[in-house]
A and B are shown apart, each in its own frame.
Chain A
């Protein structure tokens, strides 16, 4: 069975640009969460979506947005990129309030 898949795995952007990261959850999982992990730190919660509705939002600026599609896949969008947005972005899926299964992440570098 396929696990959580994320794309792209690596990408490089310049300041001010926009980025879209994609996540496909495990089949049957309706909840998707996004985390940002800056080098040397633990992951920080950004968003949770369940059944296409936002169920939680972390302490991130409005430049960060996300959505979930009818097939439960999800996109994370970041506008007006800053150097500090360089991080590993992790997606996790679950059956809701169950164990979270993480993907391998999208590593974003902002120059």
Chain B
């Protein structure tokens, strides 16, 4: 079974500052992928970044980077130079590379950017 833990229910960050959203995971699968999604109030889940379990380097996508520490089973999302539009719910998720496309999500972190 897979499990995602997000321990920060809510965070407040000053505009233009960097922010780190925590995510730890648990799985017995040898090969898996880790994802971060942003969910604004509209409800749509917006894909931000992906990290494969065998990727040697941490993933980056523009202002988003994923701090992947495999031994600690953590996959923290770092947002640099935060903007007001970054205010949303953020979900960490994982998927086994074997079988179907099931994503297992955490409970999310509500990020609020303060002007």
Contacts and interface: CB of A to CB of B under 8 A. Distances in A.
A105 B105 CA distance: 16
Contact of A90 (B43, B101, B102, B104): B43
Contact of B101 (A40, A96, A102, A103): A96
B102 A56 contact: yes
B62 interface: no
Given A42-B91, A42-B108, A105 B43 contact: yes
A69 B93 CA distance: 28
Please classify the interface of chain B as helix (H, G, I), strand (E, B), loop, or mixed, using the class held by over half of its residues: loop
Contact of B44 (A44, A94, A105): A105
Contacts of A99: 47, 50
A48 B101 CA distance: 7
Interface residues of A, number: 27
Interface string A78-111: 0000000000101010101101111111010000
Interface of A: 31, 33, 35, 40-45, 48, 55-56, 58, 88, 90, 92, 94, 96-97, 99-105, 107
10 smallest CB-CB distances across A and B, nearest first, come from A42-B105, A56-B100, A102-B45, A105-B43, A104-B44, A45-B102, A55-B100, A104-B43, A48-B100, A43-B105
